[in-house]
Amino acid sequence: MYEPYPVPKLANEHKKFRYSSLWTFAKQDLRLLAFFIVVGGLIGFGLGYFWIGIGIAFALFFAMQLRSLYLVNDWISNRPYDVPPNLNGIWGALLFNVYRAQRQERIVQSEMVSLIDRTQSSLMALSEAIIMTDDLQQIDWWNPAAEHLFGIQALDRGRNILTIIRQPDFVEYFKNVDQAPDGIKIKLASDDNTYAQIKLTHFGNESCLLVAHDITRMRNLEQMRSDFVDNISHELRTPLTVLSGYIETFKDQEDISPRWKRAFDQMQSQTKRMNALVNDLLLLSRLENDKQIAKNQIIEMPSLMNHLFDDAQAYNTDYGHTLNLDIDSHCELIGSDMELASAFSNLITNAIKYTPKGGTITIGWHDDGEHGYFSVEDTGIGIDPKHLPRLTERFYRVDSARSRATGGTGLGLAIVKHVLMQHGGHLEIESKENQGSTFIAVFPKERLYRLSEA
C-alpha cells in the first residue's frame, strides 16, 4: 500500500510541553516579600522606626525585581539563544517558559527545514524536468533535469519562462492551460530532434509548476511505426488495384463456369475488404500525423446531414431499417468537411450494420449553446459496458466474426476518435445490450458557427 512520506506532526509537538503555572512562582515572590516585611518590621520595631523598616523591606524587594527585569531584558536583547539567567519567582518562570517555547520553536523549524531539504533533494534527483514560476511568470526554481532539457542556466533566474520556452504551441498552452488537461508535446529546438511532453499545474497565488520529460525515443519509435504502416499501405495499393481490375474483367466474362464465378465473387469481396482496410489505415495515419488537414471550413450542417441521410438510405436497402433525420440546431460546424463526413458516415454505417433487420436509426444534430452534438441512435444489438472503454482502439471488436462478416475493418471508431480529437471534440457512447446504442460526437462551442455571427 502507498505510504506517504511521514510528515512530522509539528502541531502536536506543542502539546508535549506544558507551561508552568505563574501562581506557583508568584508564591515564591510573596514569601520573599513577607520575609522582608517581617525582618524589616522587627528590626524597625526594635530600633523604634517600624514604618521605616517596612519601607526599606519594600524598597529592597523592588530593587530585586528591578535587577531581575534588567537580567531578563539583557538576555532577550543580547543572547537570546543562550541558557537564560537563573532567576527565582515570576521572572524565573517567565524566562523558563520563554526559553522552552523558543527551544520548541527551533525544533519545529529544524524539522521543517529538513522536510524542505528532503523535498528539494528528491526534486533535484528526479529525471523529470521541474520548473517553478512565480505569479509574474518568472522562473523561481528548477532542477538539473530542467537545465539539461531546456538549457536553463543560473542567469535565467527571474526571467520570464516564455522567453526560454518560446515554441508557439507552448505559449498558447501556457496562456490557456485548461485547453489540454493532459499537457502537450513539443519539439524543443528546430535544429535537433528532441521532443518533450510538458504539463503545467497552477498552485498558490498564480504560481506555476512545469513538469516535463524527454519523449524523443518514444516519438521516434511511434514515428517509425506510423511510417511503416503508411508505407506498407501505399505499397499495397498498386497490386490491389491491378488484382481488382483483373478480377472484374474475368468475372464479367460470359463463358465463365459457375464454380469460377463464385471464386471470382469471393476474390472481389476480399479485395474490396483489403482496399477498405488500406484506405482506413492511410486515413488514420494522416489523422495521427496531423498533416494537410484544413480544419477551418464552415460546413453547412443541413446539407451535410441530408447527404449523409441519402447515403444511409442507399446502404440501408439490404437491411430495411426505418431511418429518421432530426435536425434541431441552426449552428454550422467549423472543421474539415472530408474528415467529419467520413467520421459521421462511419457511425451511421455501424448503426445500420449492428442493428438486426427492421430496426430504427435516428441521425441527429443539435446544440445547447455550449456544445454541438451529432448523434446516431439505433435499436441494435448494443454493447456490453465492459467493452466501451476499449471500443475506439484500433482493431478492437466486440464480436470479430460478426464484424468481419459485415465487412468492417475494425478501424472505424479509431478514425472517428481521431477526427473528433482534431476538432477539439470527443465521442460519447451510451449502450444497452440487445436494446441499442447511441453514439454522440460532441463539439466545443468554438467549433460552432451561427449564421447570425456572420
Contact residues for ligand ADP, defined by CB under 6 A: 346, 350-351, 354, 378, 380-383, 391, 396-399, 403, 408-414, 437
> Which is it for the CA torsion 59, 65, 67, 70, positive or negative?
negative
The contacts found for 159-166 with CB under 8 angstroms, 24 or more apart, are: 160/136, 161/131, 161/133, 161/137, 161/208, 161/210, 162/137, 164/139, 165/198
Residue 392 C-beta: closest distance to ligand ADP, Å: 7
Residue 276 C-beta: closest distance to ligand ADP, Å: 9
Q: For residue 19, give the DSSP letter.
A: P
The packing angle between helices 89-125 and 50-78, to 10°, is 10
Q: Which C-beta is closer to ligand ADP: that of 133 or that of 437?
A: 437
Closest by CA to 442, choosing from 430, 417, 418, 425, is: 425
Q: Which C-beta is closer to ligand ADP: that of 73 or that of 406?
A: 406
Residue 395 C-beta: closest distance to ligand ADP, Å: 8
Residue 221 C-beta: closest distance to ligand ADP, Å: 24
Q: Which C-beta is closer to ligand ADP: that of 89 or that of 425?
A: 425
Residue 325 C-beta: closest distance to ligand ADP, Å: 17
The packing angle between helices 22-47 and 89-125, to 10°, is 150
Q: Which C-beta is closer to ligand ADP: that of 165 or that of 391?
A: 391
Residue 440 C-beta: closest distance to ligand ADP, Å: 12
Residue 290 C-beta: closest distance to ligand ADP, Å: 21
Q: Which C-beta is closer to ligand ADP: that of 78 or that of 434?
A: 434
Which uninterrupted H or E stretch holds 381? none
Tell me the three state secondary structure of residue 333.
strand
Q: Which C-beta is closer to ligand ADP: that of 25 or that of 354?
A: 354
Q: Which C-beta is closer to ligand ADP: that of 93 or that of 411?
A: 411
Residue-by-residue DSSP string for 76-134: HHH-TTSPPP---HHHHHHHHHHHHHHHHHHHHHHHHHHHHHHHHHHHHH-SSEEEEE-
Residue 449 C-beta: closest distance to ligand ADP, Å: 28
Tell me the three state secondary structure of residue 51.
helix
The Cα–Cα gap between 407 and 269 comes to 9
Q: Which C-beta is closer to ligand ADP: that of 198 or that of 383?
A: 383
The Cα–Cα gap between 259 and 273 comes to 22
Q: Which residue has the cell 512562582?
A: 25
Sheet containing 448-450: give its strands across: 297-299, 331-335, 448-450
